[in-house]
Chain A
């Protein structure tokens, strides 16, 4: 069945370091992937998305990489800041009209 998972439940970095959060997905038919950030007591907040016809997409301080061969997705955050501390979720969408399926999340802790 469809499932999205994360390699590590927690990641601790120093302020200014680059962070890499990984995600593995199992449905090779998924054609859309998205990263969300969730702070305590808030709903998930959109960070960046990517379609399966791309392997890289860049935003402001963030980059998403997609490797369809091994069904792997990663989020890179450059110059990580304390405000980046949150839980990060990847999600996938299998086909038109279906909902996003979320993984379990990685908690990013940034120390200054």
Chain B
């Protein structure tokens, strides 16, 4: 257990529905990342926050995706009007942004299935 928790672990939804995932990072970590992983592939970067500021978004992050970290602690990732291609594992990671220590600690992910 890395200390990063994600909820829910699994989500099944119908195409067109909205879904929201939550991530609680390690408490002293100021950076929080969202990645997406499909079967057989490495994690793909989506976006990251430093404290409450969203500093970078991937081109993969379509307009249907939105992420927030309102108080610089937990984060939510919402997908609107889900499509079957959104089916994937959504991983959250956190890190302590200090010089010399850049490793990310990942949660166990939320597995999304869009029917």
Instruction: Name the distance in Å between A98's Cβ and chain B's nearest Cβ.
Output: 7
Pair A101/B45 contact, Cβ less than 8 Å:
yes
Among listed B11-19, B70-78, B80-88, B104-112, interface-contacting one = B104-112
Would you mind naming 16 contact pairs between A and B with Cβ atoms under 8 Å apart? A34-B103, A42-B108, A43-B91, A43-B93, A43-B106, A44-B43, A44-B106, A45-B106, A49-B103, A89-B42, A98-B56, A99-B48, A100-B45, A102-B43, A104-B40, A104-B42
Q: Mark A78-111, 1 if CB is under 8 A from B, else 0.
A: 0000000000010101000111111111000000
Interface residues of A (CB under 8 A from B): 4, 32, 34, 36, 41-46, 49, 89, 91, 93, 97-105
Q: What residues of chain B lie closer than 8 Å to A100, measured between beta carbons?
A: 45, 104
Pair B42/A103 contact, Cβ less than 8 Å:
yes
- B43 to chain A: closest residue by CB: A102
Pair B42/A99 contact, Cβ less than 8 Å:
no
How many A-B pairs with Cβ below 8 Å? 51
From B41, B55, B93, B104, A97 is in contact (CB under 8 Å) with B55
Q: What residues of chain A lie closer than 8 Å to B103, measured between beta carbons?
A: 34, 46, 49
Pair B41/A104 contact, Cβ less than 8 Å:
yes
From B33, B42, B45, B91, A105 is in contact (CB under 8 Å) with B42
* Additional A-B contact list (15), CB under 8 Å, known A43-B109, A45-B106, A100-B45: A34-B103, A42-B108, A42-B109, A43-B4, A43-B91, A43-B93, A89-B43, A97-B56, A98-B56, A99-B45, A102-B42, A102-B43, A104-B40, A104-B41, A105-B40
